[in-house]
Structure 1
């Protein structure tokens, strides 16, 4: 458009030079020139407005980019806040419950303590490092030099104070989470430590002068994991000690029962020995008619004495060896179908142990499916527990000897173990659980519900 304007003006100038002699023509051309200027002046103004609009659009695009970056940063901050709010809610802890994969597999508590000490020494070493000057060995470090009031020295001092401040904040948060870690929130507490690390770094990185070291974050997370597993190991050791104490109490009770039975057998043997001696003396002076009767009595007494001696030998053997009973019991009313307890007792009266288990802690008594006497009861019990280990109801506490199996599976495994372990008793298993009280209770409950509904 500007070019057309220039061409028009050039043509007019040329016409003026050709018609210079004619004032009328000159005046006419002058009016045409004015008309052309008025006609094309808006076009020139529009082009200028377009140029100014393009400049404004460029400025707006730059501003739009900045706003988009701020929106993305705000979104990340909002997401982090939502995560922190969720973690602060106890309900979120329950969502986090799941299988925790152990990172350490030490055999004893001193090993856990030594590893924890090693991790904390690494943390102390990083905290001792001067983080100014982009020292990446430090727990937190400056990412660039800082001048304050025109002084590099004052800027370095300000950086040190800032580094101490963010480390105190992060360590305070981490210590709080580590102190509260448990089986139900281990994963959540780890996320909280990482969230605190990200939140602090988001603030410091905005001003681009210092940040927390990711290596220090890893050490704090390792400390959290190790503290949790250490506490779990201590709990397992307590449970093992409790199991040993329970076994000792059972052994002591069995020993007292054996000693009492031994004394009772000695008393009975002494009694029958006296009766035998008396009968033997009487037979010497008895008539032929009475001798037959006395001889029959003597044979009966000798049989009783032999039975008592056999009983005493069995008691002595049980006291000196691992002879005992492995029992298979169920409680349908309390635990449901196909749930069996596989336990062991060395008591002379093994049913006493079953009756103890069916005390007030469960609503119904146990049904006995097998009571297996063997010369090595602990080995048989351990073999059964090992074979069905993955079928435990409680996979965390091995003191709870309940297994989700069928009675046929137990019978098949006992058949396999019989020869290997030298089980010296007949394997007789009751397949069905009577569960008398439970079934009668259910029948009565249905009857009462029917009566209420009528």
Structure 2
């Protein structure tokens, strides 16, 4: 567009020079011609500016869409997954998938409604041959669609769900274009079932990963509890032994009549008793900790927080 404007300006200048040299046009007609060229140049420039503004707006929209998609993928890859069909656990997803796959299998049977085609098609004037051709081509198209759907299910990752659904939609559109002559196409009902299969599969995979993570955390928590419990038991045994030692020493000092020494020993025994109480408290509350809340838009996204609990209290003795 800018090149056309430049070309018109050059043409105007060339004509002005040429007409001045030859005196071909009267002055009035020359001015009119120049004015018409100026208007064309202005219109071309305005059109170019408007086209540029449209392109800039479109580019901004596309960049925003890319950012949203990238953020969603990063969040899902990091474990912040949004369930399409929230169920209680992986077993519930397995049951839902089994029921859905039963529906899919039922629709793929003859006259099941997975693929649609024209009626009344004839080949060489034969309606029977036309039905055979439609049936064969329909099977071929459905097989191609199912092969792609099965591959998408097998290789699916939860954070790639949207691209998998988009891919399957493109396959359905391609089949509709290839079968346009005989109106062969994948039915909307069947396509929705297979999209739901992708969604449930992604949900199932995310739930399994989530449950495995919880299991790992639980095992780590139990290991930590055992470690802390053993530490408490060792500390309690040490304190009991130390208390017995000081109790014997106190009895000996009292027998000697050493009041000051007995008082110091009594004070030490009180300190040990306090330490024993602390250890007993830790033993009774080995699973206690602090609840924390983390908000991080970069990691979790807007309006998302992580809630957790610290390890058991570790009081110094």
**TM-score bucket of the superposed structures, by smaller chain:** 0.5 to 0.7
**1:245 positional shift:** 1.2
Considering only CA atoms, is the larger Rg found in Structure 1 or Structure 2?
1
Determine which of 191, 194, 200 is the counterpart of 1:217.
191
Q: Measure, in 2, the Cα distance between the counterparts of 1:96 and 1:393.
A: 11
Following superposition of structure 1 onto structure 2, how do residues 181-220 of structure 1 map, counting pairs within 5 Å? Answer: 181-205=156-180, 207-220=181-194
CA contact (8 A) 2:107 2:113 kept: yes
**1:259 positional shift:** 0.4
Q: Where does residue 242 of structure 2 map in the other structure? A: 268
Consecutive unaligned residues of structure 2, counting only runs of 5 or more, are: 1-68, 76-80
Determine which of 118, 140, 143 is the counterpart of 2:115.
140
Q: Measure, in 1, the Cα distance between the counterparts of 2:248 and 2:187.
A: 91
**1:219 positional shift:** 0.8
Report whether the alignment pairs 1:282 with 2:256. yes
CA contact (8 A) 1:394 1:400 kept: no
Higher relative contact order (CA 8 A, sep 6+): 2
Following superposition of structure 1 onto structure 2, how do residues 230-249 of structure 1 map, counting pairs within 5 Å? Answer: 230-249=204-223
**SS where residue 144 of structure 1 aligns?**
coil
Q: Where does residue 288 of structure 1 map in the other structure? A: none
Q: Size of the alignment, in residue pairs?
A: 235
**SS where residue 97 of structure 1 aligns?**
helix
Q: Where does residue 226 of structure 1 map in the other structure? A: 200
Q: Measure, in 1, the Cα distance between the counterparts of 2:285 and 2:308.
A: 25
**1:128 positional shift:** 1.7
Determine which of 305, 325, 328 is the counterpart of 2:269.
305
Q: Where does residue 58 of structure 2 map in the other structure? A: none
Structure-2-length-normalised TM-score: 0.67
Determine which of 97, 118, 121 is the counterpart of 1:116.
97
**SS where residue 185 of structure 2 aligns?**
strand
Structure-1-length-normalised TM-score: 0.48
Consecutive unaligned residues of structure 1, counting only runs of 5 or more, are: 1-92, 131-136, 284-293, 323-345, 347-376, 403-424, 426-454
Larger helix proportion of the pair: 2
**1:238 positional shift:** 0.8
**SS where residue 185 of structure 1 aligns?**
helix
Q: Measure, in 1, the Cα distance between the counterparts of 2:107 and 2:252.
A: 93
